[in-house]
Structures are given as structure tokens and as C-alpha cells.
Amino acid sequence: MRRVKRSSPTSPAAAAAAAAALLVAFSALAGLCDAGKTSTFVRKDEKAVDMPLDSDVFRVPPGYNAPQQVHITQGDHDGSAIIVSWVTPDEPGSSLVLYGTSENHLTFSAEGRVHQYKYYNYTSGYIHHCNIRNLKYDTKYYYAVGVGHTLRKFWFTTPPKVGPDVPYTFGLIGDLGQSFDSNRTLTHYESNPIKGQTVLFVGDLSYADNYMYHDNVRWDTWGRFTERSAAYQPWIWTAGNHEIDFAPEIGEGVPFKPYKNRYHVPYKASGSTAPFWYSIKRASAYIIVLASYSAYGKYTPQYKWLEAELPKVNRTETPWLIVLMHSPWYNSYNYHYMEGETMRVIYESWFVKYKVDVVFAGHVHAYERSERISNIAYNIVNGQCNPVPDQSAPVYITIGDGGNQEGLAKNMTEPQPKYSAFREASFGHAIFDVKNRTHAYYSWHRNQDGYSVEADTLLFYNRFWHPLEESSASV
């Protein structure tokens, strides 16, 4: 190693001047970090186009009354149950699910229920839901539906038993739709070398309400499109604005009708009174799903539920506290700007108090990651109206970039707010890879890159066990 020549002692005045200069330099660097980064990547400017109805991804499976639109989600609070859902087109058929740990020996069975619904001039197929309970943790199960007509087989793996150092990998997708870009997003997620085990879906599924009379055929095509993933790993559902389907002008005055009929969630297991807000535990994570489009003000059922729910989270059992919602609280795009503000004002102090690690939202058709900030001091008259760094606050991530027909949100607020760490108008998905109780690795992947390329990353430090300040540097 090269030796450094020692300098002669400096005067106190010179030392002070040097220290001041160094402080100015560090302050300048800190200012650059605080400014955040807007990606220089420019996606080709083209409209997101829906795939035609005769696309392969919408193909109806062969065979009489063959089950279609098969999807699974968690069926209880702790991860030892699975809700299996599917549609039979010709007649009700059987609601029986055969399952077992050997593909050729499905020795167990569970009986579900079947129903239909009508929406304007549309009548659904026969929708089946079956909750399989008392499954073994960390076990691969095979299952079959369509008993008595056309049997179709699938498989899933249950999560490890809940515990503080259990590694687990979540995929993040939002605002998916059924365009060619939607197909690229799902393909990109499936091909990611970091294999997600469960999808946390932050709302806006089929976009059927964008078609004339809220064409519910597009709910069917979306179900067949996503089956290739959702039949094999749980998708944890969040309701978005495109699930409301409130259309009194055509006689449809009951909100969320198609969504509620097609996508069941285990809301009662967490004491919720409606399927739009609920919680689950999975591996080392406690996941709370909130409803941006259900009443959330003081004294409402959602408010009272969340007020009672947050104190129940045992961070020694489930260190990672994750919240899903549709409308983001912090957003520096000019689309849906401040739409989540009233919910933020009501609930943000709770998120800080209970040290939520990360909040995932959708709605804005682009990508953004925030610094750890809060704006809970502001009380209208005190003038403290700017978000401030807060290491007890969550990171807020907008992942509404699935690829739907409405296209990308490209118009950003300028200058970029200090709370915004990284933003880019591209379609993609994300991975949240929990390592243990202290660390998780997060990555965002744009559709235009190779499957292993990470466009934005962050090493998360758990707010309860290891509350250090993360670097917001982006790759």
C-alpha cells in the first residue's frame, strides 16, 4: 500500500475553514439525494392495445363443461387453507375439489358452492368457490376440478408455517387489464429468475367497465388470461375503482357485483365485515388490505376494524407489516393526484405509530418509490405542511403499471418532490423478497428489459427489528 505523507499541523482557523467546506460539500450531496431521481429511460410512445377476443391467452379449455378461469387465494388467516374458484360454462356440474400430495393420488376432497349472477344483459357461467382447510404447511398439493365432466388438474404450494425468520417471496402487480402490455407484464413476472410465490395484487383487474354496458364477457376473458398464474399460486386481491361497476343508468345500482361474485377472500377470518378490507399472515409477513372505495372515515366499519387490527400485529411472530391499497397516498404524477389524501389524513399516524414497513398501491399507471416520510404534524393552523423524513414511516410504492388499455401516466409534477426517491413511466412488476426478520430485497422490473434486469432496487431494513435508514440509491 502506498504511504501517505503526513501534513504539518494546520491553524485552528484553517481547520475550521476546511471543516466548513466539507460540510457544504456533504450538504450539496445530501441535497442531490433528497431531490430523488426521475428515470431517463424513455419507453416507446405507443398506445396500450387490448388483445382481441380470439387471442390464445383467452382460449376456452377443450372438453364439455370444462372448468375455466381457475384461481386460488389464501383461505384463512394463517395460510393453512386455500380458496379454489372456477367457472363452468354449460351447467353447474360438480363443486367438488379433489386434492392430495401426489399428482396421481388425489386422496382428499372438499365440497364447494356454486352460483350465478346477472349484470344488465349478461348472465355469468356457474361460479364455484371451495375452501380447502387444514392443509400442511410448506407442502406441494395437486388438485383437480371438473369432476364428472372434464377434469382439469393444477397444483400449488402452501406457505411455510408463520414465523419471524421465514423467507418468502412476493410478486407485486397492479392495474393489469388485458392488453398486449398486460400479457408482457404477466410473462415478465412468470419469467423472473427471482420466483414469486404469491402475488399481491393492488387492484383494477379486468377493466370490463371500460367497455359498453360494462361488458362482463371481459371478466371471463381476464379470468382465462390470468389462470396460467393464478391457478398455481395465490393472488391476494385488493379492490380498485374499476371493480366498482356501479351503473344505475343501466339498472346496476349495487357496487362491486362482478368482483364480489368472482373473487372471494378470507375476510371473516380477520374479523372484517366486508371482503374489501381484511388481513392475512403469510410466512413472516402480516398483510393488511384496505379499501380505497369503501367508507373509511371515523366510526365506519373499515375504520373501526383497522383501529382494532393494527394492535394485534405481533412483530415477534410476523416482523414484516405490509399494507395494500389501490389509491396511493404519495404520488408525484399529475394523474389521480391527491385522490388518496383524505384516507392519508385519517390513517397515516397509525402507520407511523405501528411502524408499517411498506405500502403498495396502484391506480396511477406508472412506477414510483418514496423515501420514508410522513406528514402527520400538519394540523391546518401550524404551517407544518410538508412531508418530512421519518424512519418510523413506511416506504410508499406505486405499482399501477400492469399494462391496461388506458396506457401510461407520463405527465409528472415538476420539480420532483423530495419525498419521491425514484419514478418512471413504464409498465412492469415488482418483487418483495423477504430474507429474515431484519432484511428484505425489493426490485422493480420494467417490461422492456431482460427478465433478470432490475430497474430499481432497495434493500429494506425492518422497521421493528432493524430500523436503520436505507440507501435510496437506484440501480
Q: What are the residue numbers of the active site? A: 336
CB 445 within 8 A of CB 41: no
Alpha helices in 251-340 (DSSP H): 257-262, 301-309
Q: Name the E strands within 17-115.
A: 37-38, 68-74, 82-88, 96-100, 108-111, 113-115
User: Strand, helix or coil at 283?
Assistant: coil
Q: How many CB atoms lie within 10 A of CB 304?
A: 12
Q: For residues 130 and 96, what is the distance between their CA atoms, to the nearest angstrom? A: 8
Find all residues with CB under 8 Å of 7, minimum gap 6, and list them. none
Q: Tell me the C-alpha distance between 126 and 117, whole Å.
A: 9
The DSSP letter of residue 228 is H
What CA dihedral angle connects 442, 447, 449 and 451, to 10 degrees? 60
Place of cell 408455517: 161
Which residues does 403 contact at the CB level (< 8 Å), separation at least 6? Answer: 48, 175, 176, 177, 179, 180, 181, 182, 183, 184, 185, 427, 447
Q: Do the beta carbons of residue 328 and residue 292 sit within 8 Å?
A: no
Distance from the first to the final alpha carbon of the chain: 31
Q: Where are any strands of DSSP class E within 313-372? A: 320-324, 358-361, 367-370
Say how far apart CA 232 and CA 186 lie, in whole Å: 14
According to DSSP, the residues that pair with 281 across neighbouring strands are: 286
* Torsion of the alpha carbons at 19, 25, 27 and 31, rounded to the nearest 10: 180
| Among candidate residues 211, 271, 269, 277, the one with its CA nearest the CA of residue 238 | 277
Choose among 335, 314, 324, 458: nearest CA to 407: 335
Closest CA to 357 of 170, 159, 79: 170
8 Å CB contact between 174 and 209: no
* Among candidate residues 228, 190, 232, the one with its CA nearest the CA of residue 431: 190
Integer angstrom CA distances of residue 179 from 108, 149, 239: 39, 32, 20
